[in-house]
Amino acid sequence: MKNPFAATPWLLLTMLVCYGTAHAAVITVGVFEEDGPVAGAEITLVNADNNVILKRGHSAADGTFQFTVQPGHFNIGASKPSYIDQWTGGVMVQQEDISLRIKLVNEAFTQDKPAAGDCD
């Protein structure tokens, strides 16, 4: 007679693998400016306790970057030289994949313009 429990270790392993990956979600971040995508922006993922979880490379040519995370609350930032850093806070990730956009503003467009009497 064949042992009905012989396959149990494989079944258990399969369930553990599926269970572990079923709870992960993908966050797709799109980094843009007024004229389109921003390539090369550094993306930072911070947990609810303000601990940096992942400080990653840079956004792709289309401005996107992806994180695979377990459910939780996160803050996500984008930065690039000549741009003002931007953060999106309170991003709640459950089991579904999510997408968000971060708009960077070039520092040149945020400088105060001189008042009329300031020019000589």
| Of residues 94, 30, 95, the one with CA closest to residue 60 | 30
Q: What are the two backbone dihedrals, phi and then psi, of residue 105, each rounded to the nearest 5 degrees?
A: -115, 130
pLDDT in tens, 62-71: 999 998 999 9
Cβ neighbourhood burial of 115 (10 Å; 0-12, 13-18, 19+): exposed
Q: Mean pLDDT over residues 50-76, rounded?
A: 88
What is d(CA 37, CA 108) in angstroms, rounded to the nearest whole number?
17
Structural domains in the chain, sorted by start: 24-108 (2.60.40.10)
Q: What residues form DSSP beta bridges with 37?
A: 32
The mean pLDDT value of the chain amounts to 79
Q: 3-class DSSP state for residue 13?
A: helix
pLDDT at 5: 45
pLDDT in tens, 84-120: 999 999 999 988 999 999 999 988 877 654 445 454 4
pLDDT at 15: 45
pLDDT at 13 over 90: no
pLDDT interval class at 23 (50, 70, 90): confident
What global pTM score does this model have?
0.69
When comparing pLDDT for 37 and 50, which is higher? Answer: 37
pLDDT at 97: 94
